[in-house]
Structures are given as C-alpha cells and as structure tokens.
Structure 1
Amino acid sequence: MDRCYTCRLRRKKCDEGKPGCRACNHLGVSCVYKRPMWWSNTAERTEQRELVRKRIKLTRTDEKLKEADTPPPSLCKIETFSDSRPLSRTPSVYTPYAPELNFKQVSPEGYPAILPPEILMSHPPCSILSRYEVDINTECQICINDVPNRRDSTLSTFSTFQPPPMGFSYHGLAPEIGVEQDYLEMQQEFFPEEPVNFDFFDLPHKKPVPNHETVIEVDEVDKSFLNHFIQKVSKLIFPILDANQHSSTRSNIILPALGTNKSYLHCCLSVSGLHKKSTEDVPSAEIDEHILRHRYAAMSELCAALNEDKDHARILEATFDMILFQYSVGRLTDSTPDIPWHQHFQAAADLVNRLELPTTIVNDFQRDHVSLPPFNMALTTWIDILGATMLGRQPRFADTYCDLIIGKGSAGLSELMGCDDNIVFLISEIACLEAHKLEGMDSLVLCDYVKMLGHSIGYCEPGSGSVKSAFSGTGTIKSKRLRINVTAAFMYAARMYLCSLVPGFRPDDPNVTSLVNAFCNVMGYIPAGMEGHDRSLVWPLLMVGSVFLPTSSFRNMFDERCSQLGEAARFGPFGRIRELSKDVWVLLDSDVALGSYRSVSWRDVKSEKGWDFLLIREPRLCFALMAMHILLTILV
C-alpha cells in the first residue's frame, strides 16, 4: 500500500506525511492504511461525514478571515455584477449577491447549484446539479411462535439526480461555494452508490411495509434450523439479485413466503439441515432424520395443495424452492434421497401454463404495455433454459423465448442472474439446435445454424473496454458493472457451447484457445471468494472448463478461485461442478498424453456416474414413487 485509506478511496496522490498526510489533515480524519472501524457502520459513517463537512467549512472560514486584509477585487467587476442584481432583493448570505462572498471561488459548474429559488427556471433542473443522497431504512421483525425472535434493519443508501419533492428544505446548501463543492466532491468519492430499482419484479407477495412483523410458526426443535436458514442460507440463494437489490431478497421474497407457505417453510428447514450437515460437525444420523422429516412434510403439504387445486402461485413458489434452494447447498457425497430436479420442474411448468405466465409476458411487450416482469416467470426461464442444456433437450418454453428475442422483450434475467436476457435466449436457441443434432440433423444444415447463431452472439458481444472492475472506489459492488461482466462470461461460454456442436470440434483449435483465454480474462473482473459470485457462474465454468487444454490458463484460474472460496468450494453447485470437472479433466489429460485431442462430453461423464444435474443426486425408489404420485395428482 503506497497510499493511506482516504487517498485510495478518493483516488488521489498521497504525500504520506507523518503522523498524517495533507489530505487527511485537511478533511479531519485519521490517516490510516487499513479500513477504519467506522466505515462498516452506517450511523458512524454518517457522523464521520458530518465531521468532515464541518472541518471543510471551518477551513474555508479561516481562509476568508485571512483574506480580509487583502485589497478588494477590481471596482469594474463589482460594478458590473451589482448592475445585474435584482433591485427588489436585499443581499443575503444564501445568495450569490452577498457583498462578503469571495467571488474568486465561484466556478461555472457550481454557480447554478446556488441560484436563489426566485430566479430558477420553471423546467426541471439540468444534469449539472449536485446529486441527492437517499437513505431507505427497512425494518422487519420475525416472530417464531408469536415470540419476537429477530429484527432485521436494512439501511440502503444511494444517489440520484432527481430533485427532492416540493417543500424540500435547502438549508443543506452551505453559504460558502468552495465548502459545498469540496463537500460534494468528498461525498461522491467516499459514498458512491448506483440508483436501485426496488420495484423491478412483480413479486408473488406484496412488499412488506416498514416495521412489518413476519410470524413464522415452528416447533421448538426447529427454531435453530430456522435461524440458521435466515442468517446463513438465504443469502446463498439469489446472490446476483441481492447485489442488484441491496440485499432486499430476504425481506421481499423469502420471509413473506416463510410466514404464509407451509410447504415452502418445510423445504427451507430441510435445506437448513443440509447446509448444517455440509458446513458443521453434526451427527449424521440426527441431521439426516431432520432433513428427511421436513422433506416429507414439504411433499405432503404440496400434495394437499395440489388436491385442493387452488392458489397455484403458492404451489409454484414451493416447487421452485425445492429446485433452487436444495441446489444451493449439500455435498456431492450426500446420500439422503431426493427427487430429481427435472421432475419438480415438469410439475412447475404445468403450473406456469395454468397461470398463463408465458402468454402474459409476451402479450405485454407486443402491446407495448409497460409492466413488471413476473418473478416466477424469471425463475422459470432461468431453470428451463440452463436445465435444458444439462439434459440435451429443448427448453419447455422455447417458443416464448423466441418471441421475446424477436420482439426484444425481457424476462428480468439480467436482474435475477446477472446475464442479459438476449444471451440467455440465445442459449435457448443453441439448446434447441443441440436437441436437433442428437435427433440426427444433417451436418451441413447444422453448420448453417451454428454460423447464424454465431453472428447473433456477436451482436451481443461487449465492446472494447466495457469489461472493467466491478468495485467502486469505496470497495462496494457496482451492480450495473457486475451485470456487464457476468453477461460477458455467459457470452463466451455460450459461444463455446455453440462451437462444441460443430462436427470435428477439437479443444486444440486456436479459436477455442482464444475463447478460453478471453473467458479467463473476464473472470478476473468478477469478484471471487466467499463474498464473490463464482457460485452464480457454474454454467459458464462448466461449458468452458470441459474443453480447455492442460496448458491453458483456465485450470490455474479455477484452482485459484477454489482456494479463495475455501470450504464453500466443496458443496453447493460449485462443489458439484468442481467434482464433475475433475473427472472430465482426467479423460482430457489422458487423451492429450496419447496425442489425441478429441472432445470429452461432460454429459457422458455425469451419466456414467449416475449424477442428475442440476442437483447431481442419485434418485432413490421411495422418492421416485412419491414424484410419480405428485405428477399423477397434477394430471388428475
């Protein structure tokens, strides 16, 4: 570190003075090289911000007193400005007409921000006005068995150029222009936030109001599992959505469902036990009994709801819970029986059709009707398309995605999973092409389609220099930048997936090597480690990781990111991909050693192992029969 923390945040040169550099002394903050304790506390950050502002103001006041003995400005300048002053107004310290104001500090950029209200234009302020900082405080009380158990308070701070509502007090504008400019510059460097659209999706539950109480009824023995799920598991479910929505997923999606959906609740308690088993040293027999008890309870509640044939949205919510939540935890070696994910999705797809979600989303954009994407349709699209690539089948709603491509519609995938909708829809087209190839499509026709889809992917390719660091100067995630980087990773993986369909595909092809290197370069701009987003990139890692050569940079990149994840790299989707990739690499390495560069099918490897991806589970007889019972119930 060659700069103190303050100068690194402000991206300024540091003179590294002792005991404090000039910048820290000017702002009145401690000159330290590590992240200060007050930075992680919202209240202390606000207090520190005010102290800095007062310090700048005091410094400017001292400078004015020192300048009092200097000759006044040129008479012609004063006369010119005085003539332009409205005669009906008297000088005020809050206007630029005050005689004691230091005019040498006025800049063209700062001038419009301090004009008096009487001479402001009637149209909305232009973009050169300063940003407004908005704090949104959301509190949620969780009651277990009517007993207050946990209160969550989330303070989200972001900036906007939209002016505050009428009646807003302008007392925040300091009389000294230089003070205000210094303060705003400091504020934008220290506290940069992107605007957040908290109403992006049409959620299955109404958003909770502030100080909302969520009442969750559970047995005494399950309280610890519920707390474990809320504190440790819930943040693993939708990491990209959390980054985009400032961690509002738990309060807006998960907690309301826990309080109103019994099947959803039992599934979450089962997933909590599975996560405990994967991460903590707990007796296996005891935890397995808990997992199976709640899995059976979740299935029983789901069957009862299906028999009643009502509240389909809630049934769909629980079904997606069983697909995604259990996919987020658990180890490959876990032997507890479970239902394959695609059997769950078959039931979910029928419910999606009954709710007419595909028709709704297509009709909305065809009529130019501005509406929020249904959250359940976004989940459906995500699972359907990536799941189809796992099975070598066409996506269930491929026609809907084709309509969305043609009409440039959106399913909300960029907000949910971080990848632009167009790239995911093109992956759907590639999955359809692979399904036709497996059915015996002519090679020449196949190559024509590959060429056409390759051009389509090229239109979505990020421009030069668009992939940059996703971190702001303060170390926080820039959600928009993160989405651009994740989209680039999926784009390269989609192109690799498409190339693998060409007859005679070889991993040693220079174009393939170039794609692998480009993918590794993009991964360098996506946060890694426990707080990173590797677990959201399982599909791209699988597509690219199954075709590279041993001399490629991919393996070093992958091993390094596994090391940064630590124990978390051994369970959940990342752990499953890691084990599958190892088996694929063994075959690749042995072929290369023999001078062969044939392509190794990861799908054949998982089939030989008896793994059922997404969940990579070995279905057992008792739960397979239960799945058959559920499907028969739906058909009846």
Structure 2
Amino acid sequence: MAKPAVTVAPKQSPLKENKSKDSLQCEYKRPLWWSNAEQRKQMKETIKTIIKRTKTTEKAVKPTGSVNHAQPMGADTPPGLSHSLPTSATYSATPQTRLPSDGGSPYSHYHDFNQPPPSHDPFNAYYEPHVLSPPYDTNPYYTQCAQTPYEVDIKTERQMYVDDIPTRKDSSTSTFSTFHPPPGVNPFSSEDWAQDGMFENTGVFGVEQGPEYDFYAHAPPPPLASSHSVHIEVDDCDRPLLDHFIDNVLRLTLPIYEVNVPGSARSSVVLPALATNKCYLHCCLSMAAIHLKSTQRRQDEQIDGDIMRHRVECVQALCAAINDDHHQVLDATLGMIFFPCSVGGAESDLPDIPWHSHFEAASSLVRKLQLQHTSDQHGGEKPHPSFNMSLATWIDIIGATMLGRSPLFADAYRVKNERGTPSGLSDVMGCDDRVMYMISEIACLDALKASQAIDGYQVCELVRSLGEHLDATEPRSPLEHAVSPTGAIRPKHLATNVTSVFRLAARIYLCGLVPDANRQQDHMKTLVERLTTVLEYIPAGPEGFDRSLVWPLLIGGSMSTPNSRFRMVLDERIARLGEHSEFGSFGRTIRLLREVWRQSDEVERAGEERSVHWRDVMRQKGWDFLLI
C-alpha cells in the first residue's frame, strides 16, 4: 500500500503585537483580504484613520509625560489582519448569520473562548430548557452505572515520517472513568467486533476507484487511527450498547463515503471520537439503544432508560465542554443530528431536542471556528474541505428544505459556487457540490416565496434563471451503471448517477415553486419519469444506496401520480431492502410519502387541481424529521 503524501509547511512565526505608536497587530502571514483589491483599499483607508487618530493623541502629550487617553476604538477597528474583512457576500441574509453590530467580530484572533460564555451565548441558549433532565439518580440501575471508582489514563502517541525519516512525535493522555478495574490487555485483540475485517468494505460489491478528495491528506493523522490502538472505556452496563453501535449502527452511516474511502469513517472519524470525546460517546450509545429498541421491537423501561440517560449525559457533557474544545463539541453536536437519520422509527414517545436546535448550536461553533472558509483557496494552494464542514453543509442545505427557509450559510455557498470552491459533498454523500449549491439557491427562493417577498412573476423569472444554472451542471456523457461487469462498485460512476438523481429532484423542487404547479402537469410527469430511469443506475438492496437518496425520493415521490412508474420502482426497491426499509430516514420518507399520496388522491377526487405539499403533511402530523 502506498504511503500517503506528507506536506511539510514552512514554520510560521507566532503572532506578535507591534509595539509601535500605530497600535497595529502584525502576523507573518498574508491576510485573506490581501488578494481582493477592494477589501485591500478599504483596509488601507481604515488604517489611515487609525494613524490620524494616533497622531492626534500624540499631540495631546503633556510636558510632564502624562497623556490624555484616547477614546477606545469603535466598530471601525479592523479585525485581525490575517483574516478577510466581512462583506455582505460572506454572510447569509437571515438575522442569525449577520455580523453583530457591536464591533465584536468572529474573525478576531483575540476573542478569548476560554472565558465563561456570556448568558446570551447562542450555543448555551439552545440547551437552557433542560428538557432532558429526569431524576435518574433515584433509580438503582442508573446508580450502579454511575459509579466510577477507577480512573484510567490512556496515553496516545503518533509519529510523522517524511521520506521514511521520523520528523515529529506527539503524545497525549486521556483519562476515562470505568466501573470495572482496567484490563491488562487491549480488548481489541480478543473481541470479535474490532477485528480488522470489521473495517473493510463489508458489502457485496468491490471498489474500483478512490475518492476525489482526501480529507486527511493535509493534516496530521488523527490520534488512535488504527483499530487495534483504540481503547474505548465504558461502564459494564454500557458495553453491550457500544458493541451494538460498532457492529450494527456504524455500517448504516455514510455508505457512499465508505465506498470512496473504505473504513475511513470508522477508523479516522468515529472510533477516535468514541475514545476521546465523552459527548460523542454518549451520543452514540443513545443511538445504539434507539436502534435496539426499533429493530428488536423492545418496549421496556430499561431500553427507554438507556436512551434518555445517554441523551441527558450527552447534553450535560456538551454544556460542560463548550469552553474547552470546540471541535469535540462540534463533532458530538453534528453526531446528534446525523446519527438519528440512520436509526429509529417515524415517531418516538421520548422527549428529545429537535435537530434544528442542535444545528443552530453547531452553526454557532462553525462560525467561531470559521469552518465555512476552510476550503477557500489561498496562495495557489489546492483547496481541501473539512470533513465536519462537509457534513454541516449537507445538513444545512437539505435541512433548509425541510424547514422552508434559507440555509444558514447560503451566502458562503453562493461565493463558493462562483469561485468553484469544493465542499467535498460528492465524497461524503455522492452529490456534486455545484448541484448542492443550486439546491441551496432554490431553498432561498422557496423561503422568499413563502414570505411573499416576491410576486408570482418574479418567482417564474427566478425559476427560469435557476433552471438554466442547473443545465450547466449536466454531465457531458451518458450515464453508466455504478456496478462493473465484475460486480465492483465504480465510485466515480456512482457519484455521477447520484448527482443526476439529486439534479432531477432539484428540478422537480424548482418547478414546484411555480404558482399552480401540480403533479398532473406533463412536464412534472416527465421529470418524475426521468428520475425513475436514473434510479435504475444505482444499486438497490441492503448493500445498495437507497438510504442515501431519501431527499430525491421524497421530492420526486411527492409529485408522482398513482399510475406513475416511480411508485412501482420504489415498491420494488423497498422490497429489496426488506426490514431495513422501515427505519431511519428512509422509513420516515416512505411513511411521509404514503400520507402525501393519500391526501393528494383525496384532493384530486374532489375535483381540485392542486398537489398536497409534503411539508404541510409533516406539520399536520407533528413530524420534525431531517430526511438525509
């Protein structure tokens, strides 16, 4: 196996404060705004203003050496010079994403995140109600689980090599609490669920090609990347949940990413987080309990208690860790949004925090960490996306269509689309970045129409314009099957086909915004038929990728007529999935579609020429799903 390329960057000098009279901050790194002539001009004028202010202050020096203190800098004080000036194109037009007007900038190097968060901190605000805090300490079962008389320190070491020469060695120590004495050997050496075979491609298909992007090629390898080096410490009562999560839940998540980078989601993303991130661990244990409850049809107090106990501990750990490690908190928060899409049924009688509340908190962290800018290209360097931001982008865009609002980072996606900047969505979910950026634009138009900010004529004009932009993303060659004659998966063909499904769904979504649009119109029937045809190029069944297509299936299916071939093909694919079709986002989508069809059929029988919108049905039923 070829060794991954290692990029050695020149060492940067630390940030220093200029002790000169100008009171400017300097850093030996080209600022992001430097390449933009207009922003550079604005910054130059701002600096001139500060210099003039400083000169005025100098003239106020008294003979005795005392000075009249200058007034503190206001909102025109420039941010850290290594960051670009915020512009209107950088932020979404929604109130949640506007830059605060009090001069505090999320771009500043000097905002101290180690200080206790203010009472209005967006992240903490989402978890203030404490809706998940029953008194578990009164239950002997949970009291036993809560006992942690032992503490185990786990030391992790990693070595970086350049041309087979060791250049850097890092070590870190993590402390875990455990109810049982620490074992003398690595449990991975004796337990079946962590053998090497677990981290290979377990599907019936082989893999021909690799991914377009390597999320880890431009950063040091994550700690504990090897399956045999990870030691995940949990209480005895939670060990079965951990085993079940790794054995049964992990294989349901990120199937397309697993094809592109086999085993990477487990060894490079999930397992290290389980071993080092308590918030993430509790999130995954609750997901395992939910999966057990739904697949084994369990209805007992113990499984419900496991679900709620780990939900509570996860939220409590999130609030406790918010000032310590933003990346770990973001990992866990995104996990609490993403993992439920793979487990559970359509409804639950247990209290939970809505996914969009979690995402509001996650978006706050994205802004603090400036991840929406991490794939920008600087100094001729090839842009490379962040895995967390790819996942957040996916959730943001599809989630916006669930809620009928603009994506929180819509402006950032618009800029990326104009610059051709990738977000890595093709490798994570299979759909090309450009098509996802267009879905973001359509969601913005959907929100404008819903708020009656534009009239019907403007809607039609924008629909026509966005349709032309979708035309520009069409592939130049005909589709080919994602499975080769030898039975191996072709990742690039799979991505092309999945992108085509999303593109057609985007067209259906876009045409549905035209006033008086309905499923009986000829052009709508044609689009649904084309979507049905492209589905045949994507593998079905338990080892297939139908569970990665829930959004296109929802959008296309909601506009399908009773005699449409789409419904027959979908029934066949549901049958091939078997019991897997009942759970997660796929199961919820099928249940939602059947309700949409029932209501639409009733409306048409009554002689009305309109289609029932799936979002209205979700509101009627109280379903608050994220269907990804």
Give the TM-score category using the shorter length.
0.5 to 0.7
**Structure 2 CA distance for aligned equivalents of residues 563 and 470 of structure 1:** 21
Partner residue of 2:488 out of 476, 482, 505: 476
After superposition, where does 1:496-507 map in structure 2 within 5 Å?
496-507=508-519
Asked if 1:458 is matched to 2:471, the reply is: yes
The residue type paired with residue 280 of structure 1 is Q
The residue type paired with residue 148 of structure 1 is P
Specify whether residues 508 and 464 from structure 1 end up closer, same or farther in structure 2 by C-alpha distance, changes over 3 A only: farther
Q: CA deviation at 1:463?
A: 3.6
- The worse-fitting range, judged by mean Cα deviation, of 194-203 and 333-342 is 194-203
Aligned residues: 438
The residue type paired with residue 450 of structure 1 is V
SS of the residue corresponding to residue 527 of structure 1 reads coil
Q: What is the percentage of aligned positions where both structures have the same residue?
A: 46
**Structure 2 CA distance for aligned equivalents of residues 341 and 304 of structure 1:** 20
Deviations along 1:338-395, whole A, 9 cap, x unmatched? Answer: 110000000000000000111332xx32644214211111011100000000001111
Residues 580 and 606, structure 1, Cα contact 8 Å, conserved in 2:
yes
**Structure 2 CA distance for aligned equivalents of residues 204 and 393 of structure 1:** 37
Partner residue of 1:193 out of 208, 214, 231: 208
Residues 195 and 227, structure 2, Cα contact 8 Å, conserved in 1:
no
Residues 207 and 489, structure 2, Cα contact 8 Å, conserved in 1:
no
Q: CA deviation at 1:157?
A: 10
Equivalent position of 1:52 in the other structure: none
Deviations along 1:261-303, whole A, 9 cap, x unmatched? Answer: 0010011010001001111143432210111111111111111
User: TM-score by structure 1 length?
Assistant: 0.66
Partner residue of 1:245 out of 250, 258, 261: 261
- The worse-fitting range, judged by mean Cα deviation, of 278-287 and 581-590 is 278-287
Partner residue of 2:445 out of 413, 433, 437: 433
SS of the residue corresponding to residue 187 of structure 2 reads strand
Equivalent position of 1:225 in the other structure: 241
Asked if 1:153 is matched to 2:196, the reply is: yes
Equivalent position of 1:318 in the other structure: 332
SS of the residue corresponding to residue 231 of structure 2 reads strand
Asked if 1:525 is matched to 2:537, the reply is: yes
**Structure 1 CA distance for aligned equivalents of residues 627 and 520 of structure 2:** 31
Gaps of 5+ in 2: 1-175
The residue type paired with residue 193 of structure 1 is E
Deviations along 1:231-283, whole A, 9 cap, x unmatched? Answer: 11011121111111123211111000000000100110100010011111434
Residues 278 and 330, structure 1, Cα contact 8 Å, conserved in 2:
yes
Partner residue of 1:397 out of 387, 403, 409: 409
Partner residue of 1:539 out of 551, 557, 563: 551
**Structure 2 CA distance for aligned equivalents of residues 355 and 537 of structure 1:** 30
Residues 341 and 627, structure 2, Cα contact 8 Å, conserved in 1:
yes
Greater share of helix residues, 1 or 2? 1
**Structure 1 CA distance for aligned equivalents of residues 422 and 396 of structure 2:** 15
Partner residue of 2:311 out of 270, 295, 307: 295
**Structure 2 CA distance for aligned equivalents of residues 386 and 564 of structure 1:** 26
Specify whether residues 203 and 535 from structure 1 end up closer, same or farther in structure 2 by C-alpha distance, changes over 3 A only: farther
CA RMSD of aligned residues (A): 2.4
Equivalent position of 2:75 in the other structure: none
Asked if 1:215 is matched to 2:215, the reply is: no
Specify whether residues 219 and 203 from structure 1 end up closer, same or farther in structure 2 by C-alpha distance, changes over 3 A only: farther
Partner residue of 1:358 out of 367, 372, 377: 372
Q: CA deviation at 1:327?
A: 2.1
Deviations along 1:127-178, whole A, 9 cap, x unmatched? Answer: xxxxxxxxxxxxxxxx9954414443259999xxxxxxxxxxxxxxxxxxxx
Equivalent position of 2:431 in the other structure: 419
Specify whether residues 579 and 205 from structure 1 end up closer, same or farther in structure 2 by C-alpha distance, changes over 3 A only: farther
Residues 197 and 245, structure 1, Cα contact 8 Å, conserved in 2:
no
Equivalent position of 1:447 in the other structure: 460
After superposition, where does 1:78-89 map in structure 2 within 5 Å?
none
The residue type paired with residue 540 of structure 1 is P
Residues 331 and 575, structure 1, Cα contact 8 Å, conserved in 2:
yes
Q: CA deviation at 1:332?
A: 1.3
Q: CA deviation at 1:587?
A: 1.3
**Structure 2 CA distance for aligned equivalents of residues 429 and 320 of structure 1:** 23
**Structure 2 CA distance for aligned equivalents of residues 157 and 282 of structure 1:** 31
Equivalent position of 1:337 in the other structure: 351
Residues 200 and 372, structure 1, Cα contact 8 Å, conserved in 2:
yes
Asked if 1:280 is matched to 2:293, the reply is: no
Specify whether residues 198 and 512 from structure 1 end up closer, same or farther in structure 2 by C-alpha distance, changes over 3 A only: closer
Equivalent position of 2:561 in the other structure: 549
Deviations along 1:38-69, whole A, 9 cap, x unmatched? Answer: xxxxxxxxxxxxxxxxxxxxxxxxxxxxxxxx
User: TM-score by structure 2 length?
Assistant: 0.67
Q: CA deviation at 1:203?
A: 7.4
Residues 206 and 489, structure 2, Cα contact 8 Å, conserved in 1:
no
**Structure 1 CA distance for aligned equivalents of residues 358 and 593 of structure 2:** 26
Equivalent position of 1:373 in the other structure: 385
Residues 341 and 615, structure 1, Cα contact 8 Å, conserved in 2:
no
Equivalent position of 1:568 in the other structure: 580
SS of the residue corresponding to residue 612 of structure 1 reads coil
Asked if 1:599 is matched to 2:622, the reply is: no
The residue type paired with residue 215 of structure 2 is F
Equivalent position of 2:45 in the other structure: none
**Structure 1 CA distance for aligned equivalents of residues 414 and 269 of structure 2:** 29
SS of the residue corresponding to residue 389 of structure 1 reads helix
Residues 416 and 422, structure 2, Cα contact 8 Å, conserved in 1:
yes
**Structure 2 CA distance for aligned equivalents of residues 347 and 365 of structure 1:** 27
**Structure 2 CA distance for aligned equivalents of residues 453 and 500 of structure 1:** 13
**Structure 2 CA distance for aligned equivalents of residues 296 and 192 of structure 1:** 40
Gaps of 5+ in 1: 1-142, 159-189, 617-636
Specify whether residues 205 and 328 from structure 1 end up closer, same or farther in structure 2 by C-alpha distance, changes over 3 A only: farther
SS of the residue corresponding to residue 318 of structure 1 reads helix
Specify whether residues 287 and 548 from structure 1 end up closer, same or farther in structure 2 by C-alpha distance, changes over 3 A only: same
**Structure 1 CA distance for aligned equivalents of residues 347 and 221 of structure 2:** 36
**Structure 1 CA distance for aligned equivalents of residues 564 and 464 of structure 2:** 26
- The worse-fitting range, judged by mean Cα deviation, of 254-263 and 280-289 is 280-289
Specify whether residues 592 and 367 from structure 1 end up closer, same or farther in structure 2 by C-alpha distance, changes over 3 A only: farther
Q: CA deviation at 1:547?
A: 1.1
Specify whether residues 538 and 418 from structure 1 end up closer, same or farther in structure 2 by C-alpha distance, changes over 3 A only: same
SS of the residue corresponding to residue 216 of structure 1 reads coil
**Structure 1 CA distance for aligned equivalents of residues 221 and 588 of structure 2:** 32
Specify whether residues 495 and 368 from structure 1 end up closer, same or farther in structure 2 by C-alpha distance, changes over 3 A only: farther
**Structure 2 CA distance for aligned equivalents of residues 248 and 273 of structure 1:** 24
Q: CA deviation at 1:590?
A: 1.6
**Structure 1 CA distance for aligned equivalents of residues 465 and 398 of structure 2:** 21
Residues 157 and 193, structure 1, Cα contact 8 Å, conserved in 2:
no
Equivalent position of 1:104 in the other structure: none
Specify whether residues 281 and 416 from structure 1 end up closer, same or farther in structure 2 by C-alpha distance, changes over 3 A only: same
**Structure 2 CA distance for aligned equivalents of residues 325 and 439 of structure 1:** 32
